[in-house]
Amino acid sequence: MKFNRRDFLKMGGGAGAAIALGGGFWKWSQFPVAEKPNAPGVEKWTPTVCGQCTGGCGTLVRVIDGWAVNIAGNPLHPVNRGTLCPKGIAGLQGLYDPDRIRSPMKRIGKRGEGRFQPITWEEALHLVSESLKDLRQKGEAHHLVVLGGRYRGLMRSLWDRFLNSFGSPNYIDNQFRWEEPPVEGLFLTQGIHDLPTYDIENAQYILSFGSGLLESPWSPVQMLRGYGHFRRGRPGMRGRLVQIESRLSFTGIKADEWIPVQPGAEGILALGIAHMIIKEGLYHKEFISGQTFGFESWAGPDGREHLGFKEFVLSEYEPTVVSKRTGVPIDQLIRLAREFSSSQPSLAIGYRDRPFHQMAVAILNGLVGNIDVSGGVLIPRSIPYQSLPPFKEDAIAQRGNSQKRIDEGKGISVNHPYLFARNTLSGKPYKPKVLFLYYTNPLFSNPDPGLFSKALQEIPLVVSFSPYMDDSAQLSDLILPDHTPLERWQDDPVFLNNGFPVLGIRQPVIPPLYRTKATGDFLLALARSLGGQIQKAFPWNDFKEVMMVSLKGVFEAKRGDTFGLQFDEAWTRLLQRGGWSVPSYKNFEEFSKLLLDKGGWWDPVYDFGERDRVFRTPSRKFEFYSQGWKKARSSSSAEGKDSSFLPHWEESKEAGNEKEYPLHLHVFRTMSLTGGRNANQPWLQAMTGQHLFEKWKTWVEINPVTAKRMSISDGDWVWVESPRGKVRVKARLYKGAMPDVVNIPFGQGHASGGRWSKGLGQNPYRLIGDDLDPITGYPTHGTTRVKVYKA
Amino acid sequence: MHRWGMVIDLDRCSGCQACMAACHAENNIAIIGPEESAMGRTIHWIELLPFIEGEYPHIKARLLPRPCMHCEHPACIKVCPVGATYANEEGIVGIVYSRCIGCRYCTTACPYTVRSFNWYKPQWPKEMEGSLNRDVSIRGKGVVEKCSFCHHRLLKARERAKAEKRELLSEDYIPACVQACPSNAMYFGDLNDPFSTVSILSRERRAFKLLEDLGTEPKVIYLSEGM
């Protein structure tokens, strides 16, 4: 057929196309195509992917005379469609941070003294490679540990491959954030280890259980675009949002209703709502009987009778019990249950609370049947990368890989950074000898940072790949600075709220400013210098080559297309539904060129009803009774009670007694300094707490009535003390604080990091205990008590 | 003749402050450090303002992004003793920085407190200097500054339209804050065109203007939250 989309567009004429182009078009009109991109003083807009958070937004960077002078959203990128969040715009200040690390550095003073000496990359490579060779010679290959943070894509495959060929089972993911989407909740109900996808654009009602929907979602722009649409994007229909949280956050302010509950008590409220939905018979009977497991009582293969969720929740979570624990009146509870089940489609969104509290929220979506439907919980398909060729492990590698993981690797997730730190201190099962820190800063961004600080002191060689002098790099022996995101190649697989897989391509917009090196390239060089089977496992020259090899799979998948306007999206979908695939490229060269010009590839289709993809539990159904967890657990211990596999409420042990520490502590995040990664950017520092006009510092929010009782006035400097430590912060009276809860924002209090972050404010994570949840191995949320007194 | 105006839909707005960051990047707004900020010397051409009413737990809070209102009857122009502040024929209120004597009558007169004063010569580390926006001049010490509706973008768009030998379309020109807004809460366009998006929205039931009773007639129109 000699008919392509371009012809179709021409035929369709101006009017039709203009309507289809919609809101994105006028944002697009802001970017002229430069005729002569390299002439002096002429601007050029280069598409790339933002690296300020995990959102994966496409950006266009305006480059004039070799300087990046502005960042705007890429109108073709489906994650953000031409828009950006404040962090994305401030990416420019991350690139041009005057206090960036400018070359590899070697520690010369004592650990933590912060005295470093610049070295060459050859010397750096030699130092790392010699100590790694030494490990292998001594048969201690498994003493190499990589602690990795929040990033996506092929870099992760490269790390795994490197460790496998080297002989260490120790890649430890340190991605935990309480504000994350409820990952464990999704695993317990649907058997999937990933972020759940919430189709908020098409939902009518959102019940948010403490989720930072509007200030700290994992992909902010996408969530905010969805929010705009949820509110006003559908003529005649306005979505309703209810926020249940211990603080009046921005999400709470924008919500139609704010329901204050104590930190960590959201889970029991969810169970109370489930009780009312079942009691009033408001649940989706068809979905429950056809696609769920464990709702009614059931008999196991051994003939043993097991308790069903229905019976359990009806007997345990009476509204009176729930109301007493949460302080939410019974009539409100009933109203929420009725609203939630009658305003379809509705979504219950939680945060990364304790696993069974997450599950309590997740089963609300199951009760009303909103799994794998428009406006419900979706499971995106993964990007069809071509897998890297197989390689051989040598004898040393095989021996190393068969060793026990240093964090013991048990539980829902096999990654336990806290156990890693504790085991490093205790030396059981063994002490690591070399630690790589990639995109993680545990000395700042994990509760109880002191634990990690002590653990790092125990490791003979700590190598950090951070481009900035962060708190953990400060304590390292070697710093091998990565390029910042605007200077490097990277792939960014991500997905949309409506479940479409998207692959963004990050490309350098300017040459590296300093003597930095992409960590992927360094890893390839390291493999070469180690020789043998390790070298053979990495036959590529640089990371870009690895990326291009893997992208072949995307090209060959015969699905999707490179980014286009909203009109193209509809067209691709229409063809694909009919079994056609007419992408805008014919061969791989065209494909890779278009990828770079447009910013990436996507597959604008969501296939409903593929149950094997959506339910990966042992029963291949939505589980009210988590058999997946039972299976994972039964290998290690005896069979537990039925109720321990059903969504249930666990009262957490509190740190500090009520008499001495009368207040609860709630640590929250702001849009501008979400992860604390961006504290070196003054634009963001200047707007951290706009609801109180706070900036550049840490404050504590206290309810005015409570403050008056303690004779604390607005603006006083106070100590906030927990059993673990104390911080000096500015007291701010905030009506949105609960009388017995004080709130401190996260993001400030860096011990290093340059002129705009060092020594400003305090890190509230220093107050939080190391009371670890037995299932996740992470600290439990909302269990710390504090007292506040004048400084 | 165009009459440029802005509509901000508070029901779509999520309070993310992308508008503030975009404005800083676009208009070379000075970096005001922690000490100066503590003295209230920050500069924001558009700022998210909080309004918190009621008592716990019955609180109604609102967040409102506030750029310059570009009033039809601006109070700032009347008080300027040197004619540094003016409104052009398209209704955009501007400042001639070289005329401004820093008396700050205008910052006091403006009922919307949109104007900021440069207490010091703005400075950037040399590593950052090249990344400033070349389309916008840097203000010196002792002058007042405020939102210009990204007037330089209008000039550029007009040049481009001229080069392409066509009329200026209202889609050719939007300020940086409107372009960045992730929840699409901000609209910009020609209020003289009765069929433009901003005109249509400004006639909506939810539309209101700030401090309407002062008679300043702002060209920034808000749409209230809720039904």
Chain A, 25 to 84: residues with Cβ < 8 Å from chain B are 25-27, 29-30, 32, 64-73, 80, 82-84
Give the C-alpha separation, A224 to A651, whole Å. 34
CA distance A774 to chain B (A): 35
Q: How far apart are CA A749 and CA A763, in angstroms?
A: 5
Residue A437: band (very low, low, confident or very high) from pLDDT cuts 50, 70, 90:
very high
Stated pTM of the model: 0.91
Q: What are phi and psi of A463, to 5 degrees?
A: -115, 125
pLDDT surpasses 70 at A201: yes
**pLDDT, position A1:** 38
Q: Output the pLDDT for position A29.
A: 52
Chain A residues with CB under 8 Å of B26 CB are 70
A114: pLDDT strictly greater than 50? yes
Q: Region A781-790: what's the mean pLDDT?
A: 90
Cα–Cα distance for residue pair A85/B16, rounded to 1 Å: 7
Model pLDDT, residue A28: 52
Q: What's the structural domain count of chain B?
A: 1
**Contacting residues of B for A23, CB less than 8 Å apart:** 184
Query: Is pLDDT at A10 greater than 50 in this prediction?
Result: no
Pairing label, strands A205-209, A346-349: parallel
In this prediction, residue A738 carries a pLDDT of 95
Rounded CA gap, A774 and A637, in Å?
A: 13
- Asked if A219 contacts A88 with a C-beta cutoff of 8 angstroms, the reply is no
Tokens 């691709």 found at: A572
Q: List the domain range (segments joined by +) for residue B105.
A: 4-223
Q: Closest residue of A to B170, CA-based?
A: A26
| A:699-758 residues touching chain B, CB 8 A cutoff | 703, 705, 734-739
CB A338 within 8 A of CB A319: no
Sign of the alpha-carbon torsion through A216, A220, A224, A226: negative
**A690 contacts in chain B (CB < 8 Å):** 15, 17, 47-50, 63
**Chain B 143-172, CB below 8 Å of chain A: which residues?**
160, 171-172
Q: Where are the alpha helices (DSSP H) in chain B?
A: 18-26, 34-38, 75-79, 105-109, 151-163, 176-180, 197-202
Residue B199 CA neighbour count, 13 Å, CB half: 11
* Cβ-Cβ contacts under 8 Å, B18 against chain A: 83-86, 88-89
User: Which tens digits make up the pLDDT trace of A529-571?
Assistant: 998 999 999 999 999 999 999 999 999 988 888 888 766 677 7
Q: Taking residues A157-185, report their average pLDDT.
A: 90
Distance separating alpha carbons of residues A373 and B217, to the nearest angstrom: 47
User: Are A232 and B18 a contacting pair at CB < 8 A?
Assistant: no
- The answer, for B186 touching chain A at a CB cutoff of 8 Å, is no
What is the structure's pLDDT at A270? 95
- Prediction ipTM score: 0.94
pLDDT in tens, chain B (227 residues): 899 999 999 999 999 999 999 999 999 999 999 999 999 899 999 999 999 999 988 999 999 999 999 999 999 999 999 999 999 999 999 999 999 999 999 999 999 999 999 999 999 999 999 999 999 999 999 999 999 999 999 999 999 999 999 999 888 899 999 999 999 999 999 999 999 999 999 999 999 999 999 999 999 999 999 86
Handedness of CA A34, A35, A37, A41 (dihedral sign): negative
- Helix H, strand E, coil C: the string for B111-148 is CCCCCEECCCCCCCCCCCHHHCCCCCCCCCCCCEECCC
pLDDT at A384 over 50: yes
Task: Name the B residues in 112-131 with CB < 8 Å from any A CB.
Answer: 125-128, 130-131
What's the average model confidence in pLDDT over A771-775? 82
State which amino acid sits at residue A19.
Answer: I
Dist CA A48 CA A485 (whole Å): 9
Distance CA A377, CA A369 (A): 10
pLDDT digits (tens, 9 = 90+) for A18-49: 333 334 444 555 555 544 445 677 888 999 99
* pLDDT exceeds cutoff 80 at A634: no
Report which of A266, A287, A289, A448 is spatially closest to residue A349, judged by C-alpha positions. A266
Please give the angle made by the CA atoms of A585, A590 and A591, to the nearest 5 degrees: 70
Q: Which pLDDT value is given to residue A16?
A: 35
- Six token digits for residue B52: 């918190």
- Structure-model confidence comparison of residues A581 and A624, the more confident one: A624
Q: Which pLDDT belongs to residue A266?
A: 92
Contact criterion met (CB < 8 Å) for A73 and B15: no
Residue A455 CA: distances (Å) to CA of A107, A417, A427, A444, A446: 18, 11, 10, 14, 13
Among B11, B57, B125, the residue with its CB nearest the CB of A260 is: B57
Query: What is the pLDDT at residue A31?
Result: 55
Which domains are present in chain A? 197-378+612-634 (3.40.228.10), 663-790 (2.40.40.20)
Residue A774: band (very low, low, confident or very high) from pLDDT cuts 50, 70, 90: confident
- pLDDT value, residue A567: 65
Spell out the residues 6+ positions from residue A643 whose beta carbon is closer than 8 angstroms to its own.
A307, A312, A316
Q: What is the mean pLDDT of residues A501-511?
A: 94
**CATH number for the domain including B55?**
3.30.70.20
pLDDT digits (tens, 9 = 90+) for A650-669: 888 877 788 899 999 999 99
Chain A contact present for B56, CB below 8 A: yes
A407-430 residue pLDDT tens: 887 777 778 888 899 999 998 889
Mean pLDDT of the A691-713 span: 94
Type of residue found at A65: D
- What is the pLDDT of chain A when averaged over all its residues? 88
The pLDDT assigned to A3 comes to: 43
Helix (H/G/I), strand (E/B), else coil: A474: helix
